Chain A
Amino acid sequence: SQTIHQWPATLVQPVGSPLSLECTVEGTSNPNLYWYRQAAGRGLQLLFYSIGIDQISSEVPQNLSASRPQDRQFILSSKKLLLSDSGFYLCAWSDVGIPEKLFFGSGTQLSVL
C-alpha cells in the first residue's frame, strides 16, 4: 500500500534562517507531488506541484522553493524565512491517472519567530 511521510511534524525557526521540509512517498511510482500551505483560518494554498523529477511548477511567487531530487521525494526549502512563512505545510501525492484524489501527509507546523 502507498504511504506518505512528511517531517518534521513541528518546527520553530528564527526569521532569516533556512528551511528544509522533506516528504517521501512509498508504494507507488511517478506520483504527482504537491506542497500546500494552510494559514490559520484559511484554506489550503497550493505552493508547488511536480509531475516528474525536475518538473516543478510554482503557483505563488515567494521566497520558497521546491526540489524533487528523486521520483518519490519532494523537498520544500527557503534560504531566509519570513514571519509570514508561518503556517501548516502539507505534502500530498496523487496518482497520475487520478490527479484530483490527493493523499496528504501529516503536515508540518512551522512557526517563524
Chain B
Amino acid sequence: KNQVEQSPQSLIILEGKNCTLQCNYTVSPFSNLRWYKQDTGRGPVSLTIMTFSENTKSNGRYTATLDADTKQSSLHITASQLSDSASYICVVTSSYNTDKLIFGTGTRLQVFP
C-alpha cells in the first residue's frame, strides 16, 4: 500500500533555531516528492519538488533532501522565523498515476519568540 508518514507530528522551537522534519514513504514506483507549507486556515503552498535523480533542493531557508534508496526525505529549516509556524506536508506521486497524490498527515511546527 502506498503510504507517506511524517515525523514528528508536532514540533516547537525557538525563533532563530534550525529544525528538520522527516518524511518516509512506501510509494512505488516513485515519480516525485513535494513539500507543502500550510498556514492555519489556508490552502497548502508548494515549497520544493524533487524527482528521483535529485538529492537536494533549496528554497530560501528551506532545504529538502531526498534519498530514493531508503525512501526518505527531510525538510530542513534554517534560522526559523515566527512566520514559519505552519503545517508542513510531504506529498509523493507515483509514476503509475500522476493525477493522484499521496499526502502525509503533516508536521505542525510552532516557532516561539
Contact = CB atoms under 8 A, between A and B. Distances in A.
Contacts of A27: none
A6 B41 CA distance: 13
B99 A106 contact: no
A43 B42 contact: no
A43 B104 contact: yes
Contacts of A42: 105
Contacts of A45: 103
Nearest to A104: B43
Contacts of B31: 100
A24 B46 CA distance: 20
Determine the main DSSP class of A at the interface with B: strand
B79 interface: no
Interface string B30-74: 011010000001111110010000000000000000000000000
Contacts of B106: 43
Contacts of B12: none
A70 to B, nearest CB: 20
A90 B41 contact: no
Contacts of B89: 43-44
Interface of A: 6, 32, 41-46, 49, 51, 59, 88, 90, 92, 99-107, 109
26 contacts: A6-B43, A32-B99, A42-B105, A43-B89, A43-B105, A43-B106, A44-B89, A59-B100, A99-B99, A100-B31, A100-B32, A100-B49, A100-B93, A100-B98, A101-B34, A101-B46, A101-B49, A102-B44, A102-B46, A103-B46, A104-B43, A104-B45, A105-B43, A106-B41, A106-B42, A106-B43
Interface of B: 31-32, 34, 41-46, 49, 89, 91, 93, 98-101, 103-106
